Amino acid sequence: MLIAALLVSTYYSDANEVSFTNPILPGGYPDPSICRVNNTFYMVNSSFEYFPGLPIHQSNDLVNWTLVGYGLHRSEQVYAGINLLDVQSNGGIHAPTLRCRGDKFYIITTNVYQPVGSTQPAQMINFVVTADNISGPWSDPYIIDGAPGIDPDLFFDDDGRVWYVGTHAPNKPNYPGEGEIWLQELDSQSWQLKGPRHFLWRGALYGAIWAEGPHIYKRSGRYYLMVAEGGTSFDHAVTIAVSDKITGPYIGNARNPILTSRHLSYDNWVHSTGHGDLVELADGRWYMVALGVRGDEQRGSNMGRETHLMPVIWEREPYKWKQVRHEWPVVAPLTGKVERINPLPFSDRQQHPKTVFIDQFDTAELDLQWNFRRMPASGLYSTTERPGYLRLTTSPAVPTNSGRASLMGIRQTESDFEYQVAMEFTSSTNNVEAGVNLFQKDNNYLSYTIVRRDDSYSLQLMAALPKKSLEVLAQTPMANYQGEIRLRVKATGQSYYFGYSLDQGQSWMPFVETRADLLLSRGYTGAYMGLYTTSNGESTTDFVDFDWVRYKGIER
């Protein structure tokens, strides 16, 4: 036991030099899909109701990733049938697949949309976008008619045929919530389905809900179908099956699931691991990317589902009595689970975590890190109207289901952090406010703002919590406010500390402390550090100017 402890101590003491830390994409980056072109890796993630949608990262070593663009980044794409204008919370862009064929990139995904006030089931619109360059521009969507379900996969076979791999609820389920994977050929010119539809597999975990997130791979002449099962919470898992023909029949791996945390304590450092994608390196090694949720706050996380990386080896079944002994992928072969600390994929390339984000708004183009809840209204912001500042136009709207407020943000990447903004704001209208908004959903946010009320200014913190009315947590008059203020939020342990400065940061005043679990992810996305202004229903021409934004994540 002493020798083992010494070995572990030595390993962890050298961790910064020989290892990387999961997640490799911290913050709300769920449902990863990965591909490789020569020695460069590309990855896309779900974005749900956010715009721009389909964030795309690039890496040369699998552990350091750079955001290079979005698959949905133009208003024309939205108006071409991918509604991100009034899409509902947790709707929008689900579980994409990114693939490269020749000199072209392809993303196939689903937009889940339910009209405001509708009681009908949500519409599931499956589509493809293409690009010659990974950073775009990406094409208008090619909407695929007659394709039910979510989480489609795109598979290019060696014979030139292109296949759509989808999900649906079978006509005769064996239990409630059972899903089924289906396959049909795609015309690569029209992007429409053709030929017969084949029903492949219903998953390996009988009684687990909804086989989804399929990916097909071809290795040594055989087809491997990998899926996600068990929902998106603690029972999430990855399972796999194999066939000699792409149309099946598929035989499940007797050792399924090949990745899960369902057998671990609910208090494991990460849980809900699943929804993976495999990539082969140029030297023949394999890795998997998959989502997982850190258990930092009450077995949950403000960041929601994040992207993790695990090594994969292939092993042949040892049973000599079997006529066919299949090869199967083994994920994280040393421990069988997602580890926080792992050996580097390339020992000469260390991980350099990007824990700091600073934007001084000195360029005309908005930094790629900024996101909006739904496509922003025209004229919502400007980086040129006052050079060196971001001007955010005040809107009458407040965050509401399917609504578009004057709200934008960057992802929270660690449970502990410090977030600061410097802003200038005055108003001639009562009930107008501007400042910081930390948000998860339309009904889950903390609004930390200067508000004009009764012809004077106050500083206030308001909380919107699910199934509760909007609540004022703290408020104080600001008699010395002259139109400039710095706002700060610090998260340490299980608390948020809100403070402010009226003298350009020379001195800071404490305002209020709250629990850190008010923004726990209860949906598919993670928390954002935001900028916000509203006139609370009043007509106004007001705006707020932000001089800079600083965010630093602090690893626990």
Reference 487, options 408, 398, 424, 445; nearest CA is: 424
CA-to-CA separations, 442 to 88, 232, 430, 536, in angstroms, rounded? 9, 21, 24, 15
DSSP state at residue 3: H
The CA distance from 460 to 455, in Å, is 15
Reference 532, options 479, 487, 475; nearest CA is: 487
CB 162 within 8 A of CB 155: yes
DSSP state at residue 209: S
Q: Rounded to 10 degrees, what is the CA torsion of 423, 426, 432, 433?
A: 20
The CA distance from 392 to 549, in Å, is 13
CA atoms within 13 A on the CB side of 66: 8
Q: Catalytic residue numbers?
A: 31, 212
Give the three-class secondary structure for 296.
coil
Reference 481, options 452, 457, 451; nearest CA is: 457
Tokens of 347: 């020992």
CA atoms within 13 A on the CB side of 426: 5
Radius of gyration of the chain (CA): 24
Sequence-distant (6+) residues with CB within 8 A of 554 are 355, 414, 416, 417, 418
Instruction: Output the CA torsion sign for 85, 88, 89, 95.
Output: negative
Sheet strands (E) in 348-443:
356-359, 371-373, 381-382, 390-393, 406-411, 416-424, 433-441
Reference 505, options 384, 422, 424; nearest CA is: 422
